[in-house]
Amino acid sequence: MAGIREERRDQIIQAAIRVFGKKGFHRAKIGEIAQEAEIGKSTVYEYFDSKKDLFEEMIRFIAQDYYDDVNEALSEGKGCKSRLLSFANNHGSFIKSHMELAENTMTDSTSVSEDIKKEMLGWKMKIFQLVEDVLKDGIEAGELREGIDTKSATAIILGAINENYVVQCIIFNQKPEEVQMERIIDLIFSGLGKDNSQISMHNSQ
């Protein structure tokens, strides 16, 4: 029974993502979400107290989903560079899936409570830690220079990846899947990676 209830709850949230994405928080109606989920309006209220409650649970759902995807992406590949590229491509897929939702809802700060804003900061810190751990692994494996300020480097990497998608997709109208992230990761590694002389010295010791 618990499994069926959880499936129904996820079904409603997925419908909410589509409806809120198209109409934004204020114009979306519970009845429309119910119709999208192919259930009765009263059923939505069996799971969520109000439209705002559903909206906030939707944000939590998306945050958890993104974290899980990032965690999996950063586990793929054997090297630091490969793992970061996997993360960058995953971020592009996330933007593709939720760009419309972000544009129609997140710009309206009144639709997001202070509690949710604090929770989102917590999720950002979890993502930050995952990426920083990859850099620490890279240093330990000899892929990156020793003595790197991993917190500053992580902030630069996250900023560069996100900003590149913003510029390419919004300004130059590219689709997220068309953005070539290899060049960004290469640029990052030209600053963080060991140069040839350092590698040679390391190998000769």
Residue 21 falls within a domain, yes or no? Answer: no
Distance between CA 120 and CA 78 in Å, rounded? 30
Distance between CA 126 and CA 117 in Å, rounded? 14
Say which amino acid occupies 124: K
**Rounded-to-5 percentages of helix, strand, coil across the chain:** 80, 0, 20
CB-hemisphere CA count at 13 Å for 102?
10
Each residue's pLDDT tens digit, 1-44: 568 889 999 999 999 999 998 988 889 999 999 999 999 999 99
Residue 110 structural domain: 56-194
Residue 204 falls within a domain, yes or no? Answer: no
Residue 76 falls within a domain, yes or no? Answer: yes
Each residue's pLDDT tens digit, 101-120: 776 665 555 667 889 889 99
Distance between CA 112 and CA 63 in Å, rounded? 14
Number of domains in the chain: 1
Residue 31 falls within a domain, yes or no? Answer: no
Residue 108 falls within a domain, yes or no? Answer: yes
Residue 196 pLDDT: 38
pTM assigned to the model = 0.83
Residue 38 falls within a domain, yes or no? Answer: no
CATH of the domain at 98: 1.10.357.10
